[in-house]
Each structure stands twice: as C-alpha cells, then as structure tokens.
C-alpha cells in the first residue's frame, strides 16, 4: 500500500501543499521547526483519525483558518491489480469532522478507517516502555482498530459507558458523603444496569486485547532479537509480553467473551464499596496494562535506555508484521527516530524496514538517514516542500 499524492489545505503550518509521492523510501530533510513532521502527521491522521502529537484537533488547523483539509490518494496492491482510493478529511475543531472516500461523503469519519494503514515510529515511542499504562493501552487499542476498523466503535462504546457509569458513581459518592451519619443509601438501582453494559462492552474489548497479545508475543520477541542482535553477542534475553488485567492474573484462562463479561460483573459487585467511596470505575479494560519484561525483570524501571529503545522499536515492528499478514503492507512512517538511536540500532532498523512498500522518513540532516534507506529526498524549509534533484 502506498500514498501516491498528498494535499494539505490550512493544515498546521501549511496554507497549501501538493505533494506527489512514490513507492519506496522518501526522506523529508530540513532543520527543526520547518514542517517535516506536519506532513507525515497528516498521513497518520487519515489512517487513525488522530495525531500522534496532540489529542485535540485545534492545533492541526493553521492559525487564522477555520478548517483544515487533508487529502491523499491511496494505492493498495501492486500493478496490474492496484486499486486507488481518494481519501479526504475536513478537520473543523469543535465540530464533527467530515470525511469523503472517492469524493462520496462518508456518513461518519470512522468509515474511512482501514483504507489507509500506517505504522508510525516516533521519539514518543519510548513512552511505550517507560510511560504510563495509558500509553500501552493506546498502543493495543490503535492496533486493534488498524487490524479491524469495527473496534473503533467498540472502543468508543466502552468509553461512553465508562463516562456514564463514572458520572453515576460520582453523584452517588457525593450523596453518600452528604448523608454520612444519617440513615439510607443513595439509589443504586441503575448502577446494576451500567454494570451490565460495562461488562458487555468491556468484555469485547478485553477479549480482543487478549487475543492481540497472543498474536504479538512471538512477533515482538523476534523483532527484539533482530533489533538488539550483536549487542551482547547474540541477544538471548527472554522477552515477555503479558496482559495485566484489573480482573487479576488468571484472566486469560477465560478468554471467551461470556466468561469475561461474567468476571467483570462479579468484580464490579465486589468492588462496589470502593467504587462508591472513590466515585470512579475501578474494574475494566481502562485500568489494565501490558507488562513488558526482559528476563525476570519488568522493562519499566529496569531496562537500560538502549534496551528500552529496542523494546519500543520491537513493538512497532511487530505491529507492522501483524498488519502486513492481513491486507498488505502498511505505510511505514519514521518520524525523527534515527537521531535517537545508536549506530547499530539505526542500521538494523533501516535494514528491517527498507523492503516495505512505502517508507516516509523525516530527519534534520541527511546524515541521520541510514544508507539502506536511500531514496527520494524532499527538502523542507520554511514551509516550502521541494523534491531534491
């Protein structure tokens, strides 16, 4: 799969850009703050409906403009049976974004998910190892959506149930505090209902994550080995990837949705007192984590900087491997990562990704881009994008 043309209107620093792209490697070179990342951020937005840099849409729109437009021509497969699709999204902060496929309006932006698939490497990836559980949950959930776009719906349903349930717990908790000393408890009859819906949506998300971890485990171990190889002779560290659920360690034994839903309902009943006291939902996939370990030690806190990078790269490479087994090669985006890596990792990563259908790289100086990734060079300077001769 590759993007053959990208156009931006009022996106970030760009008033207007038309950028033809080829298969293979394209390197965007330019000093910091010139707009390299903005270009690949736009590609990522079409694939995930989100930015890897900011959670809100407002910063994506050029200062003074009302809305931004990102348009890309996406070619899937190779000649002679390549299929092209024109994807378009209009980003209007504070309003519903509008998407079009081949000039036909999609009823929801979500409908364009799955047409363009990307795997993005960025300096922020280090947070997958060193950061909060929420970073790892987002990694898992975004991969679920990239694999099967219907999970975008599952994810947003779960978030909606959670919001409603938390609102109820919060008001019940406030009512209890106000009544402390007095008799009576707040009306909890609707909490049971939200438990049911939390278990229903939560079990679907949980089952999918557990299945995903199983699929990722061998891929991450293999990718780690290729990235970290020769570091200490052969890397014979035992890499592990485990799911840590708020339901306890045995959660994977009940991997089908019905059992998980029952387990979630039971756990919610057990935790009710605590939940009412604190006014938040304490059970469910939103409290879970993915535990990465090197041998007997958890990676977080114990891994060296280099090991952490190897792990982060292995997670992204594993996503890439997983996605390419279904529906063809995703577009690889490497945003300023080479500057973060030592020579060995830089070289091995370049080797591993150089065969992808399309690789988009950003770097401040040409020397940051490994030789294995020589391809088209595009200079980005002061918002002007020019293909180098």
Which residues are near other proteins by CB under 8 A? 111, 150, 153, 157, 160-161, 163-165, 167-168, 171, 187, 189-190, 192-194, 196-197
Output the smallest distance, CB 169 to other proteins, in A.
8
Which CB atom, from 12 or from 165, has the smaller least distance to other proteins? 165
Q: What is the dihedral angle through the alpha carbons of 71, 77, 80, 82, rounded to the nearest 10 degrees?
A: -30
Which CB atom, from 266 or from 379, has the smaller least distance to other proteins? 266
Cβ atoms 91, 50 nearer than 8 A? no
- CA 49 to each of CA 116, 135, 150: distance values in angstroms, whole numbers, following the listed order: 11, 17, 14
Output the smallest distance, CB 153 to other proteins, in A.
6
Output the smallest distance, CB 121 to other proteins, in A.
30
Which CB atom, from 189 or from 236, has the smaller least distance to other proteins? 189
SS3 7: strand
Cβ atoms 43, 118 nearer than 8 A? yes
313: which 2 tokens? 């790269």
Output the smallest distance, CB 171 to other proteins, in A.
7
- CA 63 to each of CA 10, 31, 58, 67: distance values in angstroms, whole numbers, following the listed order: 8, 21, 9, 10
- Distance separating alpha carbons of residues 383 and 39, to the nearest angstrom: 10
Residue of 113, 37, 41, 104 whose CA lies nearest to 70: 41
Which CB atom, from 129 or from 261, has the smaller least distance to other proteins? 261
Which CB atom, from 66 or from 187, has the smaller least distance to other proteins? 187
Output the smallest distance, CB 85 to other proteins, in A.
16
Output the smallest distance, CB 141 to other proteins, in A.
17
Output the smallest distance, CB 281 to other proteins, in A.
12
Which CB atom, from 95 or from 386, has the smaller least distance to other proteins? 95
b/e code 196-224 from CB counts within 10 Å (16+ = b): ebbbbbbbbbbbbbbebbebbeebbbebb
Output the smallest distance, CB 319 to other proteins, in A.
22
Which CB atom, from 5 or from 200, has the smaller least distance to other proteins? 200
180: which 2 tokens? 């402390």
Q: What is the largest CA-CA distance in the chain?
A: 81
Place of tokens 């006291």: 277
- Distance separating alpha carbons of residues 30 and 382, to the nearest angstrom: 9
Which CB atom, from 262 or from 388, has the smaller least distance to other proteins? 262
Residue of 117, 11, 18 whose CA lies nearest to 68: 11
């Amino acid at each position: 799969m590759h993007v053959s043309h990208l156009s931006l209107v009022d996106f970030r620093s760009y008033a207007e850009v038309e950028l033809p792209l080829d298969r293979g490697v394209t390197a965007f070179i330019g000093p910091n703050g010139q707009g390299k990342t903005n270009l690949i951020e736009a590609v990522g937005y079409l694939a995930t409906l989100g930015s890897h840099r900011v959670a809100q849409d407002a910063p994506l729109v050029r200062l003074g403009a009302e809305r931004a437009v990102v348009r890309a021509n996406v070619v899937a497969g190779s000649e002679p049976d390549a299929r092209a699709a024109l994807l378009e999204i209009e980003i209007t902060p504070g309003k519903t974004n509008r998407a079009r496929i081949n000039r036909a309006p999609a009823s929801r932006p979500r409908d364009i998910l799955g047409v363009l698939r990307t795997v993005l490497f960025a300096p922020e990836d280090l947070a997958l190892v060193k950061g909060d559980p929420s970073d790892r949950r987002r990694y898992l959930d975004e991969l679920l959506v990239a694999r099967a776009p219907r999970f975008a719906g599952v994810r947003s349903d779960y978030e909606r149930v959670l919001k409603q349930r938390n609102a109820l717990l919060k008001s019940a908790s406030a009512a209890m505090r106000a009544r402390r000393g007095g008799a009576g408890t707040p009306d909890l009859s609707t909490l049971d209902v939200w438990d049911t819906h939390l278990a229903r949506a939560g079990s679907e998300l949980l089952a999918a994550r557990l299945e995903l971890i199983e699929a990722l485990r061998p891929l991450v171990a293999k990718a780690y080995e290729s990235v970290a190889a020769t570091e200490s002779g052969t890397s014979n560290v035992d890499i592990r990837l485990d799911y840590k659920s708020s339901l306890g360690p045995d959660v994977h034994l009940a991997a089908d949705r019905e059992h998980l839903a029952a387990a979630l309902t039971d756990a919610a009943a057990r935790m009710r007192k605590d939940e009412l006291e604190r006014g938040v939902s304490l059970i469910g996939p939103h409290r879970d984590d993915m535990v990465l370990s090197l041998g007997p030690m958890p990676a977080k806190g114990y891994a060296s900087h280099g090991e952490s990078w190897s792990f982060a790269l292995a997670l992204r490479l594993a996503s890439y491997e997983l996605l390419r087994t279904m529906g063809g090669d995703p577009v690889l985006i490497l945003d300023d990562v080479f500057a973060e890596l030592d020579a060995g990792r830089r070289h091995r990563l370049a080797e591993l990704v150089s065969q992808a259908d399309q690789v988009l790289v950003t770097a401040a100086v040409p020397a940051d881009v490994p030789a294995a990734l020589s391809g088209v060079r595009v200079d980005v300077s002061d918002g002007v994008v020019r293909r180098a001769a």
